[in-house]
Amino acid sequence: MRSVDFSPLYRTIVGFDRLANMMDTASKLEGGSGYPPYNIEQTGENAFVIELAVAGFSEDDLSIEVQENVLTVSGKRERAEDENARTFLHRGIAERSFERRFHLADHVQVRDAELKNGMLTIKLEREVPEAKKPRQIAINGKSGAKVIEGGKKSAA
């Protein structure tokens, strides 16, 4: 696996030490098993969907938890008694225990989860509070206050 050096990026971001550390951690952890396979899709400006292929798992076998901006999806399948008596010529469906973690950005909330046809779908939505949304900043100078709006200055 090829390592990526993020140090040039650190010079241009301010106050995002946590983000930089998460990027370093993610690049080191991605060499993991890759099971179960998943998709992450942006379905709207503030809406996202994570899909995990969890063939062979039921709702009772899966657990979804969010703690401190980390979404953890885990699966543990209990083997049936008659399953040990089965003889497989080929076993391509893993059905092994797993734990998959996703680091969520601030203000991203899990809205819904659904298991259908072996696909676990988790819907996410970003809800930025009013206090965190962009706002205009007045610039006070000799010629009066000017307001920065969309990159252009205008007299206030």
Residue tagged 């509070």 (tokens): 129
User: What residues make up the domain containing 43?
Assistant: 34-129
Q: Are 13 and 43 within one domain?
A: no
Rg value, the chain, Cα: 23
Per-residue pLDDT of the chain (156 residues; tens, 9 = 90+): 566 666 666 555 555 556 656 666 665 555 456 889 999 999 998 899 999 999 989 999 999 999 998 999 999 987 766 667 888 899 887 778 999 999 998 889 999 999 999 999 999 999 888 887 788 888 886 655 555 555 555 555
Looking at the structure, tell me whether residues 18 and 66 fall in a common domain.
Answer: no
> Per the domain annotation, does 136 fall within a domain?
no
**Tokens at 64, concatenated:** 């979804």
Q: Are residues 66 and 41 in the same domain?
A: yes
Give dist(CA 138, CA 145) in Å, integer.
6
**Omega of the bond leading into 36 within 30 degrees of 0 (cis):** yes
One domain for residues 26 and 48: no
Assigned domain for 155 exists: no
Cα–Cα distance for residue pair 61/54, rounded to 1 Å: 10
The verdict on 98 and 117 lying in the same domain is yes
Counting the structural domains of the chain, the total is 2
